[in-house]
């Protein structure tokens, strides 16, 4: 990796990683839509392509030496989530609100609140690392809020009913 730092190839790998990661998420969304419209074979194709894009993204990240120890990865995750809720999302929320883009303001606001939750969960995982602490995680389909136990009440971020949560296996 040290030979890559500051090179065009490093920038290319970063761009490729971002592109492949975005393609994965987009294709999974496309698969959901195809399923809703009754096109299971097209949905399956989108999921297959999404899986392939993940293979590519992971390969690019490995070439960047972007996967470290779990301790280092948790610290990086805390930093990334904290950056998002402190620096990235607040101006986006403000701009969307100023321009009257309600859907963008809502999605930015939901993400901003949930990034705080994620940072806290990563910090807790850091503190618990090596202690074999276990719990289940539940994610809200509307806003992404993440809980350490099955929800008993509506989502604290978006107010969706507890049925909006799905368990992570």
Dump pLDDT digits (tens) for 92-109.
Answer: 999 999 999 999 999 999
CB 81 within 8 A of CB 124: no
- 59/76 same-domain check: no
Residue count of the chain: 169
Position 3 in a domain: no
- 43/94 same-domain check: no
- 88/53 same-domain check: no
- 24/48 same-domain check: yes
The number of domains in the chain is 2
- 54/84 same-domain check: no
Position 89 in a domain: yes
Q: Please give the residue range of the domain that contains residue 89.
A: 70-168
- 162/82 same-domain check: yes
The C-alpha angle 109, 23, 111, rounded to 5 degrees, equals: 10
- 41/93 same-domain check: no
- 83/57 same-domain check: no
| Whole-number Å distance between alpha carbons of 30 and 45 | 10
| Residue 1: band (very low, low, confident or very high) from pLDDT cuts 50, 70, 90 | very low
Contacts of 78 (CB under 8 A, 6+ apart): 119, 122, 123, 126
Return left, alpha or beta for 132; rule: phi > 0 is left, psi -120 to 50 is alpha, else beta. Answer: left
Mean of per-residue pLDDT scores for the chain: 97
> pTM above the 0.85 mark?
yes
The HSE-up count of residue 120 (CA atoms within 13 Å, CB side) is: 11
* Number of C-beta neighbours around residue 121 at 10 A: 19
Position 1 in a domain: no
The CATH number linked to 124 is: 1.20.1260.10
């Amino acid at each position: 990796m040290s030979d890559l730092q500051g090179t065009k190839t490093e920038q290319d790998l970063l761009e490729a990683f971002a592109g492949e990661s975005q393609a994965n998420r987009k294709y999974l969304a496309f698969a959901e839509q195809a399923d809703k419209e009754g096109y299971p074979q097209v949905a399956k194709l989108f999921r297959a392509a999404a899986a392939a894009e993940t293979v590519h993204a992971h390969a690019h990240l490995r070439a960047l030496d972007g996967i470290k120890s779990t301790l280092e990865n948790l610290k990086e995750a805390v930093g990334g989530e904290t950056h998002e809720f402190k620096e990235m999302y607040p101006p986006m929320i403000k701009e969307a609100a100023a321009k009257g883009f309600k859907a963008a303001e809502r999605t930015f606001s939901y993400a901003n609140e949930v990034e705080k939750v994620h940072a806290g969960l990563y910090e807790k995982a850091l503190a618990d690392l090596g202690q074999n602490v276990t719990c289940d995680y539940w994610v809200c389909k509307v806003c992404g809020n993440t809980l350490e136990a099955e929800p008993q009440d509506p989502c604290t971020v978006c107010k969706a009913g507890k049925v909006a949560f799905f368990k992570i296996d």
